Amino acid sequence: MIKKISLTRYLVEQQRVDGHIPGDLRLLLEVVARSCKSISQAVNKGDLGGILGAADTENVQGEMQKQLDIIANEVLIEANEWGGHLAAMASEEMDSIYVVPNRYPQGEYLLMFDPLDGSSNIDVNVSIGTIFSVLKKPEGSPGVSEADFLQPGSQQVAAGYCVYGPQTTLVLTVGDGVAMFSLDREQGSFVLIKEHVEIPLDTKEFAINMSNMRHWDEPVKRYVDECLAGKEGPRGKDFNMRWVASMVADVHRILTRGGVFLYPWDKREPQKAGKLRLMYEANPMSWLVEQAGGAATNGQQRILDIKPTKLHERVSVILGSKNEVERITSYHGTL
């Protein structure tokens, strides 16, 4: 019989055998996984649970919220506020940080999340997800403030996402490679399906929203043009294109079989660095990709080296198979 390794056991062993994670971080990750399980249940019910459709409210980024954006946000807050492992949380769906209320003990970790990634796919039954990133509160700082969150992604102590697709799969790093766990609904637990995930260095698959082509900057245009030219072009091979419009699903494909994902800066709103958010989308995904042997850049610098200046900061994102990302970086003249 194949021995199944649960997420709990994996984390206990990370804590006990390798000393990679302290007990409080293990608790935090278990609680996040539990939250993802209940979000997965809500996603599964869909219309039957009456949770689809718009919420008629806007978030701080001016985006219309879906009911599920709000539900997923509440699930994560309620599950994480009382355990004593956190000092504060921050989310795409909340204007400012959520400090753990006084009635609960305060821990030393900071949790950030995109509770529901790929909101435009909720109502059409296409894969969506939850993305999370964990930092440690800087030592010696009294209380907790937004400034405590503004650490570069290289300071993350854990990061991951859960994709709600044909399977619900949780993907995690604590800085020792990437592991994947699928939800076994009969057992009610996440089970290890893959360890030491590796992204192939080369690829023939790219992901970008082509409808924005006319707004792109020259290096991105050049890269995509060369892919489209196929065998007859300078790359000498045919490329395939995929765009799910859920970053979790696109990154999951890249972690599984390679590829490159771009949501670059473009000329539509030149003052905006990009569409995706640094702290709870780009940073956790970039760390996962690097931990799997890939690379992640904004075209100018490694994403994990960017020092954030605000919670909801946006960033240009190019990540995936290393040789491909390096090629795009060289087109930006920064390699």
Does 316 interact with ligand AHG (rule: CB under 6 A)? no
Does 118 interact with ligand AHG (rule: CB under 6 A)? yes
Kind of pairing, strands 276-277 and 98-99?
unpaired
CA distances (Å), origin 127, targets 170, 191, 249: 13, 20, 6
Rounded least distance, CB 186 to Mn ion, Å: 30
Does 30 interact with Mn ion (rule: CB under 5 A)? no
Give me the amino acid identity at 257: R
Residue 14 or 246 having the CB closest to Mn ion:
246
Rounded least distance, CB 92 to ligand AHG, Å: 6
CB 301 within 8 A of CB 318: no
Does 317 interact with ligand AHG (rule: CB under 6 A)? no
Stretch that binds ligand AHG, among 111-119, 159-167, 170-178, 194-202 (CB under 6 A): 111-119
Placement of tokens 């992901």 in the chain: 207
Q: State the CB neighbour count (10 A cutoff) for residue 149.
A: 23
Quick one: which of 72, 77, 91, 117 contacts Mn ion (CB under 5 A)? 117
Rounded least distance, CB 254 to Mn ion, Å: 16
Site for ligand AHG in 226-265 (CB under 6 A): 245-247, 263
Does 209 interact with ligand AHG (rule: CB under 6 A)? yes
| Contact mark string toward ligand AHG, 3..42, x via CB under 6 A | ----------------------------------------
Rounded least distance, CB 30 to Mn ion, Å: 23
Using CB distances below 5 to 8 A depending on partner kind, what does residue 209 bind out of Mn ion, ligand AHG, none? Answer: ligand AHG
Using CB distances below 5 to 8 A depending on partner kind, what does residue 120 bind out of ligand AHG, Mn ion, none? Answer: ligand AHG
Q: How many residues bind ligand AHG (CB under 6 A)?
A: 13
Stretch that binds Mn ion, among 91-99, 137-145, 166-174, 231-239 (CB under 5 A): 91-99
User: What residue ranges bind ligand AHG (CB under 6 A)?
Assistant: 63, 92, 114, 117-120, 209, 245-247, 263, 275
